Every structure is written in C-alpha cells, then in structure tokens.
Structure 1
Amino acid sequence: MTKLEVVARAAEDQQHEMDGEGVCLHGEKVFTGADDGKVKVWDHHNLKLIQEFQAHDYAVTDLLVMGDTLFTCSSDATIKSWDANTCQAKNPAVGAHEEAVRKMTSNGTSLFAGDENGDIKEYGADGSSKAVYNLVEEVWGLLVVGDVLYSVRDRGVTISQLKGKSNMMAVMAHVEGRAPLVIAGDNLVCPNMAGMNLIVRENITPFKVRGELKGHEMIITAAAGHGQRVASTGYDNLVRLWDLSATKELASCELPGCANALAFSEDGCIFATGTGGYVCKLKAT
C-alpha cells in the first residue's frame, strides 16, 4: 500500500511572508515565488533556505527553469531572467505584457508566457521575442509540447498547432476542462468543469477520455505529473496521488493549507507552496 507523507517543511521564520504561487526545481535546488515578490531557494533534501532575492515589486505568479536560466513572471506584467546557479540577474526585462502574466511553460527551445489580456508571447532562451498569439480571453493554463499549444481560457481546453509565426496556428481540438493542466506520460489531465474531478484523456487526436479521477471534495487548485502519476491538490488542503495506468488513487496527505503550486522532482518527491507562504516536501513510499 502506498503511503504519502510530508517529510520536510520550511521553517516558519524562513517561509514567504505572503501566499506562495509557484515552485520549480533545478538540480538540488527548489525555487519558490510568492505574492511578496520574492524568490526563495531551498535545499531539495531538507528545505533549508539557501538564499532569497526580490524578483519583482509585485507578486511572482509563476517561475520556470530552462537550462541554467530561471524565468520569473509577475502581476506587474513583466518577465525577468536570472542565473539559476547564482540567482544573479541576466535580463531584467525579458518581456513586457499589457496585463499581468499568469503562466509560463517551455517546449525545451522557447519560453511561452500567457497573460490576463489573452496574449501568449513566445521568447527565445535568451529572452528575444519570437511570436505573439492572441487568444482574446485571459490565460489560466498553458502547456506547449513541440509545436502543439494547450491553453485553458475561461472554459474549455483548446489544443492548437503552432505555425512559427505570430497568430499563425491551427486548432486541433477543443475539449472540456479547466486549469490546472498536466501532461503525464501519454495522458492529458485536467479538472472537469466543476473543478473537483480530474479527467484523463489520451494525449492524441481526438483526445478520447480514458477515465475520471474522483476524490477531491473542493475545487482543485494545482496539479503536477511524473511518469504515469499525477499529484493534485485543492481547497480541501489535501494532496492526492493518482496512478494513471490504473486510473485510481494511490494515497493522500494533508497540507498546512491550500496549495497554489505543485512540482515533482526527478526522484518522484512532491513540493508544494501556498497559503501563508509555506513550503513543504512530500514523499510516497
């Protein structure tokens, strides 16, 4: 029987002063961003604070590592880049959006950022502007695999093939769902419109439903994938670990509060941040 438990937590006097909004990993480091505009760097093993810096004057809404570069985006409508090893600024203004930037993702070669104005902007690894895709409605969820863009607007998931030029894309499908959006193995996973169950689909046209994961009693706020496993959490303050191959729940664990972001490490551990700025590490055994 699988057991999921919190194995480390950031000390209260070191955690963020406001709600945590994003988490990502780079080697032995865990990066978290929060509404206080700060990025904190933690030891992957014990969540001891390594360093921190003021990334933005306003909330850090998401963060992402590409190669040795850490990108941060904010409600101040900017994206910045930092050396992931030293945390020194690389490009203080990668991109400027008209509205708050909500989500970032990468296909390995480009950075994509979606904002509240409905614009998804594509940048090179060096921060250079490459293309803009106007989606009209604000971006709540965003993934890109190769040249396939997955975007979540107010309602529904739109899957499009990018053509390499601004506003040049072909819609492949539109399916039921809402943020958060996860690709795990050959599965596309997102909550249903009610927000409390996860729909598991084949990640190939026509994106047929494989099953539905039921367990959360309140709306899901964050999810992450690792192989054939997905972790999800919501306003019920529980992390639930799911086996997609069997379409079943493996284990659950209570969190210190509602989590706004989850991330898997390469060794399968789960990191969470959320209400009140807490950061914790969970492990399945």
Structure 2
Amino acid sequence: MSKLEMVKQSPDEEKHTADAEGIRVEGDKVFSCGDDGKVKVFDRDLKLIKDFTAHDYAVYDVFAFGDTLFTGSIDTKIKVWDINTFELKKTIEGHEEAVRKFCTDGKLIYAGDEKGLVRGYTPAGDSTVSYNVVEEVWSMYAKEDLLYTVRDRGITITQVKGEDNKYFHVQSLEGRAPIHATNDLLVFPDTSGLSLEVRENNKASHFALKGQLKGPEMIITAVGGHGTMLVTGGWDAELRLWDLTTMKETGRCSIPGVPNGIAVCENGDVYAAGVDGFVCKLKAST
C-alpha cells in the first residue's frame, strides 16, 4: 500500500490570517492565496520566500502561467503579477461579481466568476473572449475547445468557438465542485459530495462512467492529482490518496484542517491549504 505522510506545516506566524482558498505549484515555487487578501510564495520545501497583499479583500484563486501570476478576488478584479519580482503588471476590470477560478487550455487563461461569466485572457492579461455560462463558477477546466464549468452542483460542458458567446452545449453531468481532469479522465464528487465519479474525458463516449471512488465519510472539499495519482480532502480533515488505475484508496493522512485547495506534483509532493489559513506539505510514496 502506498503511503501519504505529512512532511511540513507552515508555522503560525507564516500561515494566512484567515482561510486559505487555493494553492498552486509552478516550477520551484508554491503559491497560496486566502481571505486575508494575501498571496504567499514558498519554495518546494515550504520555506516562505515572500508574502504580499494582492487585493484589499479575499483572494479566491491564484494561477501561474509562464512568467505571470494571476490573482482573482471577491473585489471582482483580476491582477497580473511578475512571477519573479511580484511587481504588479496590470489590474483587470470587467467582471461584475467575485472572480472564483482560473484555468487554461494552454493558450488562454480563463477566469470564471460568481455571475457565470467566463472571460479568456492572453498571458499578458489582455481580454480576448467572454462566455456567459449563466451559473456561478465554482470549479473550471479547459481542454482544446471544451470548457467545463461547475457550480455547487452540476457540471456543464460546452464547446467554445473563440468568439464572444459563440458556443454550444455538449453535455450536463450530475455532480458538484471541485473537478479534476486529465486528458483521459474526468473526476468529481457526486451530488452527495461523499463519493467520486470517474468518467472518460471524451465527448465521443459521452463522458462514460468508468467507476466510483468510495470511502470519504464527510463531504469532499478539495481534489488534486497528477497522472493516475489522485488526492482528495474534506470535512474530516484527512487527505486520501487514490490510484485511478485500480480505483482504490492507497493511503491517507490527517492534516491541520479542512482543505480548500490541493496541488499534486509528478514526484509525489502534495500541498494543501485551507481553513484557518494552514498550508502544509505531504509526500506520497510507494
């Protein structure tokens, strides 16, 4: 059986002073954001490099793309930062409600808000297209010309045409945020939030159900993964490690609180951030 073990937890003086909302890994840096308006930058050993106030209000997501860092906030603004100097490059307005999530198709960075507006930006932060998906965006993923948006309950998959509000509905799936996807697989909690559905990430198969992951005893709040390795966490303040090949749980570990974000790296490094501002590192190994 694989192991999932705690490696390090950020000390009280370095954690967020309010709930942490998200965590991302890019290269040798780990980025977290929180309701205190801050972004914290760590090295891969979770040594704090820098923290700075990105917005005056809660930061719901942070997203790294090349040499640029995007932050989205309840203040409805997106800010674009230099990923090395952390200098502000641009402030973007245009969303009318809180900006909740970012994702990329490899070309554009998409931002989804609580009004249901998804806007696409170039890596420089220039607006290109917008799609009104009607319902608030709690989780999001993009693949080629497909855009997956998730409200609290319900996954909507649309094919976008690269022009404002030019798209058509591909499929709706029962489920809830958060969503995790690879080129081959689509994973998300069912409507109860207690089990995970694993589906083919292929519109030709109509996103056919491949299996279910059962085991969490409380509602799932965060999902992350790399390849066939999946990590979930929820209200039980535990992270669970899953093998998507066998559809089995292979390890678990208690963490400092309920996670709002999980990032999983190819080498088995796992980072989580959540309630009361904690940020921690775990290691998955066989």
Which residue of structure 1 aligns with residue 96 of structure 2?
98
Q: Is the partner of 1:156 in helix, strand or coil?
A: strand
| Residues 122-271 of structure 1 aligned to structure 2 (within 5 Å) | 122-184=120-182, 186-205=184-203, 206-271=206-271
Inter-partner Cα distance in structure 2 for 1:95 and 1:239: 36
Q: CA deviation at 1:185?
A: 5.0
Q: Using the TM superposition, give the Cα deviation of residue 24 of structure 1 relative to its aligned residue in structure 2, in angstroms.
A: 0.8
Counterpart Cα distance in 1 of 2:30 and 2:151:
29
Check the 8 A contact 1:26/1:84 in 2, yes or no.
no
CA distance in 1, matches of 2:183, 2:5: 24
- Give the match's secondary structure for 1:177: strand
Report sequence identity in percent. 49
Amino acid at match of 1:48: K
Gapped regions of structure 2 (runs ≥ 5): none
User: In 2, are the aligned partners of 1:185 and 1:228 still within 8 Å (CA)?
Assistant: no
In 2, Cα distance between equivalents of 1:170 and 1:229: 32
Write out per-residue CA displacement over residues 176-218 of structure 1, whole angstroms, 9 at most, x where no aligned residue: 2110000135110000000110000011121110100011111
**Superposition deviation, residue 154 in structure 1:** 4.2
Q: Residue 185 and residue 226 in structure 1: after superposition, are their counterparts in 2 closer, same or farther (change >3 A)?
A: farther
CA contact (8 A) 1:22 1:34 kept: yes
| Cα shift at 1:26 | 1.9
Q: TM-score, normalised by structure 2?
A: 0.96
- Aligned length in residues: 283
**Alpha-carbon distance in structure 2 between the residues aligned to 1:38 and 1:49:** 13
The structural deviation recorded for 1:94 is: 2.6
Shift of 1:155: 2.9
Query: 1:243 & 1:184 partners in 2: Cα distance?
Result: 14
Summarize deviations over 1:221-270 as a string: whole Å, max 9, x none. 11012001111101111111111111111111101000100011232211
Deviation at 1:157, TM superposition (A): 0.9
Alpha-carbon displacement from aligned partner over 1:40-94 (angstroms, at most 9, x marks no partner): 111112x111111100000010011111101000011010011111211111x13
Residue 28 of structure 1: how far off its partner (Å): 1.2
